[in-house]
Structure 1
Amino acid sequence: MIRGFKNFLMRGDVITVAIGLVVALAFSTLVKAFTDFVINPLIAALQGGQSLGLGWQLGAAGNKATYLDIGSFISAIIYFIIFMAVVYFVIVVPYKAIQARRGITAFGDPAPTKACPACLSDDLPVAASKCKYCGTEQPVVSV
């Protein structure tokens, strides 16, 4: 059992995912710092010293626990968009290019499928002559 677990961990896919996760966490910290220390001060400067205050106080005045802070939510959305753009352009695009040079399609469009009229499973390859779930003969569909 331990040998099987070791073999699972040493597969290339698991190592690739682990490295991707570590890189993504590092970029997350970088993008968070960029948003907190560059974007937020620029927005504050554009406000001219006035606090925009995107939110509502739901409870007692001054209680941070009952303040509905929409501005922080918008900041988190901006952070997420920047983070996903960085991951896409720094990790996904180069990975796709490397895999294309190796003759492997990475992150490509899924193969076309058809539905079985008997069991209604919708993930059968178009060229399938039998349903892999119920065994029903499939009509030939031209692509």
Structure 2
Amino acid sequence: MLGGFKNFLMRGDVIVIAVGLVTALAFSTLIKAFTDSVINPIIARAQGGKSVGLGWQLGAPGNTTTYLNIGSFISALIYFLIFMAVIYFLIVVPYKYTQARRGVAVFGEPGPVKTCPECLAEEVPEEARKCRYCGSDQPRRS
């Protein structure tokens, strides 16, 4: 039982995913600090005055629970875009390059698909002999 678990952990894919997740977490922390320390003050300043952020007070003045903070949303959106760009350019692109050198296509365009005549599933690969959803035999295309 422990031998199987060891073999599972030592597979190359699991190691690559683990390293990618740890790297993503590190970048996430860095980008969060950037948006909190740099982007948020810029957005808060855009409203001007002594406002706590870019937004509107919906309830009693000074009540932070009824403050509609648009700046926080804009900051989260910027955070997401930066984070996804970092993940793409520092993890996905090198991984695609490494796998291409090994002769393995990853993150490529999906192949052509057809519709199953039995269950009407639209994601059946064109070369499939059986439908992955209902198991029916697929007609050959000429």
| TM-score calculated relative to the size of structure 2 | 0.81
Cα distance, 1:29–1:132 mapped onto 2, change above 3 Å: closer
1:68 and 2:68 aligned: yes
1:110 and 2:110 aligned: yes
Q: Which residue of 2 aligns with 1:94?
A: 94
Q: Which residue of 1 aligns with 2:49?
A: 50
Report % sequence identity.
68
Cα distance, 1:8–1:55 mapped onto 2, change above 3 Å: same
* Alpha-carbon displacement from aligned partner over 1:12-39 (angstroms, at most 9, x marks no partner): 1111111101000111111122223333
Determine the C-alpha separation between the residues in 2 that align with 1:124 and 1:77.
Answer: 35
Q: Which deviates more, 112-121 or 87-96?
A: 112-121
Q: Over aligned residue pairs, what C-alpha RMSD do you find?
A: 2.5
Determine the C-alpha separation between the residues in 1 that align with 2:47 and 2:117.
Answer: 64
Q: Which residue of 2 aligns with 1:127?
A: 127
| Partner SS, residue 56 of structure 1 | strand
**Which amino acid counterpart does residue 50 of structure 1 have in structure 2?**
G
1:18 and 2:50 aligned: no
Cα distance, 1:28–1:121 mapped onto 2, change above 3 Å: same
Q: Shift in Å at residue 48 of structure 1?
A: 9.1
* Alpha-carbon displacement from aligned partner over 1:33-88 (angstroms, at most 9, x marks no partner): 2223333445556x496356432223322111221211101110011101111111
Contact 2:96 2:106 in 1 (8 A): yes
Determine the C-alpha separation between the residues in 2 that align with 1:117 and 1:81.
Answer: 41
| TM-score calculated relative to the size of structure 1 | 0.81
| Partner SS, residue 59 of structure 1 | coil
Q: Which runs of 5+ in 2 are unaligned?
A: none
1:33 and 2:33 aligned: yes
Determine the C-alpha separation between the residues in 2 that align with 1:136 and 1:43.
Answer: 57
1:4 and 2:4 aligned: yes
